[in-house]
Structures are given as C-alpha cells and as structure tokens.
Amino acid sequence: METGSGFLAKPSKFPDISSCTAFQFELKTNTEFKGYRFSFGKAKAKGGRFAYGYKTPLIFGEDLPPVGEYGLVEIPFDRFSDKWDDATGNIEVECKEDPTYCPTSKWLSKMETMSFWGEGVEGMVDLEVKSIKAVGCNMEASEISVGQSMIISNSHTIQSNPFYMAALILLAASGCIVCGCCFLLLRCLRSSNTDRKNKKIHYDSIDCATDDELDYEDLP
C-alpha cells in the first residue's frame, strides 16, 4: 500500500516533519502476520540495488495492537534505515549503528512517498490504517503540505528505482534510432530531388537541330 508520486506523475505533497521525532499510526491488523513494515522517501543507500526509502519493521506483539483492535503505534525516526535487504525487507544496518543511514532533514521535509509493506514472511496480509501523524514536533512545525517540483521528484524516482532508469535509457535509445532513421530518409529524399533537377537541366541544355539546319550532302 503506497501513497506518493510515481514517475511522470504529479508530485505528492506532505507536511514538513523535519522538526518532529516520530511517526504515530492508528491502525489494526486482522491477522497475525509478522512481516509488516513502513517506509517513506526515495533515499537510496550507497551500494544498494533495488531498495530505496527509509524503512522500519512494525513488530507483531510489540509495536502492533492486538489482532482486530485499533491502537496507536509510535515509531521514532531513529528506528528507520535506508540500508535494508530488497528481497526480505529486513534492516541490514540500523540507524543507531551508523548515522549515515538515518533519515535526513531533506527527506523528512519533503517525503514524496509513504508505503506500508507486507513482505519477508508467509501469511495473510490484512492491515487497516486510520491515520498517520508526526509527533514530538517543535513550535516551528507546520501542517502545510509541501512538495518537490515535478523535475526533481522524477529525478529522485529515476535515481532510486533502476527500472525507471532502464526505461529512461531505453526511451532515449529509441528516440535516437527514430531520429537517425528520419535523418537518413530526409537525406535520401533530398538526394533524389537533386538528381531529378540535374537531369532536367541537362535535357533543357541540349540544342535540337531544325530541318533548315540539317546538311543534306548525302542526298542524291
């Protein structure tokens, strides 16, 4: 379940939460699924492959309320990391272990996207989310939604997602091929028109002899 901006879509806007300390969710799970996670932003850790964004697990039995009941779940920002396994969703390096993987003010101020995940384990996914808030904010915090420009947002999407990068490269290559074919076709047409004009000029320059100009010396 994702909310946010995709490639070539109008960028989504979220409040600036860079002065806050945690997310607060009101939600309930209707199954004992143990693979829920939450992520935001499009940050990409150095050396990462497909994983992007800051992610954290929503631990069943600790973070989540009892099955079938709504409850408040508060997750501090320092629980998030952008160094996670793209196959399982498990965090590889915690934010507390290495601050370079912690959420930055850049992505907290303009998140662009948020996602709830069900991954890494087998089971039935059934999660209901009633609200998402940021808590622990100072007096400078604002509820006014802000967002990136479309160019910057799409740039972040391309940088964070290799599929979009591959699509962009393929699109650029296709454009080059089409332009090359059009250029060659245009040259051929121009060359053909030039040959026709040259032939017409050659025919027009031939002097045709009239009957008065013919020499009839060989006539008897």
Question: What is the C-alpha to C-alpha distance for residues 148 and 42, in angstroms, rounded to an integer?
Answer: 12
Of the CA atoms within 13 Å of residue 6, those in its CB half-sphere come to 4
Pairing state of beta strands 113-118 and 36-40? Answer: antiparallel
Q: Which residues of the chain have pLDDT under 50?
A: 206, 208-209, 214, 216, 219
Q: pLDDT value at position 25?
A: 97
Helices and strands: H and E segment counts in the chain: 3, 9
Residue 46 contacts residue 155 (beta carbons within 8 Å): no
Give SS3 for 6: coil
Convert the pLDDT of each residue in 20-76 to its tens digit.
Answer: 999 999 999 999 999 999 999 888 888 766 788 999 999 998 999 999 999 999 999
Closest CA to 135 of 58, 21, 39: 21
Can you give the pLDDT at residue 110? 87
So what's the pLDDT on residue 1?
64
Q: What is the pLDDT of residue 214?
A: 47
| Entry pTM | 0.67
